[in-house]
Structure 1
């Protein structure tokens, strides 16, 4: 990894995966076609891009039972424990409706309601991401969403990975479709003969999925347009170079566009980590991907002071931030912007990815300055409630009318004045 001095132009900025004009045109064509032709269009695109011809999109109960029978029992137990941890954490995020008494029986309030239906996109094909199932489904369930749908691209045999089906089974999700790409997003947004539409789409995907989510936003809600993974590590000479290098590579192996960054006040430690990264890269199964990320976007920044590092991190607002210093809790208190903060030697980032209970769907590309991890809040909506009695209305009607006329909205004023005692006044 390249070692450089920390400067004020430090940045996580990379080209966002928003695609080129040709990709966008393809996505728009797919969306329009699925909206018009429904299932047949979905089937055609699945055959074209996934190489499978499916007469039935929905995963059958037999497929789920077969996956359960084939799956390693210890792994299933691990997934169940992880799911329990995630559920406990998200249960604490639940909101309640409330009323506030005004006077004379009048009240204002807020009603918190779950969304009716949500769709989760799980990346697939040659890979399996059961953790995406857990992280997206559980907060929706805690919120009270009644209909939760999973879509995921099938492999060349027209099947989904056992791990994805087992994760769904653990959570009691039965509506699962073997559909991926932009056609899956279109089906969730517009509906087809066999896939009913949803109100919100969550989950990561490739550039075509990201573009499709952006295009259907407004027709449905979406969670975010997530970029490639990021990790920033604050470490001093008390940390272990091999552990820091391993954590940097844990994110570099995700994507050639991933961004692994180390910030330290020690030149010697920086050099040790750079050596360790190269040593560990040679032994990684996904060396090609990780090396591309390290060489293009990886950096080791050496700063004069820890204050300079904290200032830089708050500008970076990284997706993942690890703190491995002599005083990690003190440093963490000074960090304002990060998707998730991992404090101390034993809080390696993958613990948050899989098991601790916090959500691993996090804001990227410095958007942690203004956005948050996926949570129960993403699966609810709020409705304002207003109830005025005649007595309260009498006290405030004239005030409301004056404010309306100040804005030149005479009909607003007259609407308020059309009630109760003002009728007698207007008629006199």
Structure 2
């Protein structure tokens, strides 16, 4: 029987605050090594045996009876999926897709060309990668929004081909997931999930072509597989369970804040929801609302485990001085709901995305605001960013000198080569200084 719901409440000035906080945030960040060897075995099997191994795992984990025939989703299945979906749901997905596309179009970098006073012409071109793999999660819930958030940046970047893999249950895929893929223009969709999907996208098989980058969230098997293939293919990030940090004063509606916290906790037992506030009574109100809401939630068991293990409310004396604490936690999602929140925003350097004000719930960011919801977790926002067009493009610079350039810059370049003891480098420059 599940024990009572308990949202841990601590004060920032407590003697053992740092140890309590570290233990709480690290509890979800500690990765198990139990699956590492199993994932390695699957990846090696896919690499060596291609379709033979892929079909074996598709039968075992996705319950596909005839993977040779049914692994790839047919166009007729997508048409059928559209007929199964509510028209309002499709309309909502299309609106979300348009907003995501608009945001990422504004994000695209420009090519740069210039000529300096020494006569050197320099050009930098941004080019899309050839092929991208999108992993669409299909675990305890199905997320068509993740298809949009992962594939649209690739589409905007100009990627030539997008391949999607998605776990299935006895061959069945959520209809909205297939509709989302069609909205994104994805032509190749395969019923395969887990480490075997990552292996197929990385090394290629007779059925699935290898890709240049793999993006999209997944379970611990997917995360471990992406970690192991990173030398062979680019990936978006090492994503872990979802997390949110909310900074809110007592002027907010406690029920709203409770729902914002539970919106993360319902994702996964390992998800984390943290609130920072400056008022003891408000903290208790939020805690009581959480306990009340859980009773009627359709994902109550998941939420209970998440809140009991990873949930936290921190009471701080001055809410506007919480940025050091925010930067230490480095959350995936950060919500700031207090007066003049935009002023403190400039002091925040570690967050996947920031939501400002009570009318900007993180839940909307999961679907329709524009920036991708595929974001760094487990403190990774200290050194990385969310998925964007930059994950799907590369740059090439080209340089052209004149004889004037060599005469002006050559001697200094030659001097540096000599300092480094690279004689051929120096001679390569000197012969041109001597030439006509």
TM-superposed CA distance for 1:126, in Å, is 5.7
Cα distance in 1 between the residues matched to 2:104 and 2:415: 46
- 1: CA distance between counterparts of 2:68 and 2:155? 30
Determine the structure 2 residue equivalent to 1:139: 153
Task: Spell out the pairing of 1:247-286 with structure 2 (5 A cutoff).
Answer: 247-286=260-299
Contact 1:97 1:109 in 2 (8 A): yes
With over 3 angstroms needed to count, the CA separation of the structure-2 counterparts of 1:182 and 1:17, relative to structure 1, is: farther
> Contact 1:17–1:227 (CA<8 Å) still a contact in 2?
no
Distance 1:183 1:25, change over 3 A: same
Q: 1:169 Cα deviation (Å)?
A: 1.0
Could you tell me which runs of 5 or more consecutive residues in structure 2 were left unpaired when the two chains were aligned: 1-6
Q: Which residue of 2 aligns with 1:35?
A: 47
Deviation, 1:212, is 1.1
Does the aligned pair in 1 maintain the 2:111–2:125 contact within 8 Å? Answer: yes
Q: CA contact under 8 A between 2:28 and 2:241: conserved in structure 1? A: no
1:328-368 deviation per Cα after TM superposition (whole angstroms, max 9, x unaligned): 33343443322111111111111000111121111112221
CA contact (8 A) 2:139 2:219 kept: no
Match of 1:92 in 2: 106
Tell me the residue number matched to 2:3.
Answer: none
State whether residues 82 and 357 of structure 1, in contact with CA within 8 Å, keep that contact through their aligned partners in structure 2: yes
Distance in 1 (alpha carbons) for counterparts of 2:274 and 2:30 = 20
Deviation sequence 1:386-427 (CA, Å, 0-9, x none)? 1112221232222212111101111211222233x5258xxx
- Write the mapping of 1:3-402 to structure 2, written as runs, cut at 5 A: 3-7=9-13, 9=18, 10-11=21-22, 12-16=25-29, 18-20=31-33, 22-53=34-65, 54-56=67-69, 57-103=71-117, 105-124=119-138, 127-156=141-170, 158-402=171-415
Superposed CA RMSD:
1.7
8 Å contact 2:118–2:408 — kept in the other structure? no
Tell me how many residue pairs correspond in the alignment: 421
Q: Distance in 1 between matches of 2:179 and 2:234?
A: 27
- TM-score (normalizing by structure 2): 0.93
Once residues 126 and 351 of structure 1 are traced to their aligned partners in structure 2, the CA distance between those partners, rounded to angstroms, is: 20
Cα deviation for residue 181 of structure 1 reads 1.1
Separation (CA, whole Å) in 2 of partners of 1:289 and 1:237:
28
Distance 1:103 1:388 in 2: 11
Instruction: Tell me how far 1:65 sits from its aligned partner.
Output: 0.8
- In the TM superposition, what whole-angstrom CA distance separates every residue of 1:182-222 from its partner, at most 9, and x where no partner exists? 11111111111111110000011111111111111121100
1:117-167 CA distances to partner (integer Å, 9 max, x unpaired)? 1100011156321011100111111111111110111112x1321111100
Q: In 1, are the aligned partners of 2:335 and 2:361 still within 8 Å (CA)?
A: yes
Q: Given that residues 323 and 331 in structure 1 are in contact (C-alpha distance below 8 angstroms), is that contact kept between their aligned partners in structure 2?
A: no
Which stretch shifts more, 239-248 or 55-64? 55-64
Distance 1:285 1:211 in 2: 29
Q: Write the distance in 1 (CA, Å) between the matches of 2:231 and 2:397.
A: 21
**Equivalent position to 2:422, from 400, 409, 414:** 409
Question: Structure 2: how far apart are the matches of 1:248 and 1:127?
Answer: 18
Quickly say closer, same or farther: Cα 1:213–1:403, change in 2 above 3 A: same
Secondary structure in 2 matching 1:99: strand
Q: Alignment partner of 1:112: what SS?
A: strand
For the 8 Å contact 1:126–1:155, the answer to whether it is kept is: no
Task: Out of 172-181 and 95-104, give the one that drifted further.
Answer: 95-104
Distance 1:238 1:288, change over 3 A: same
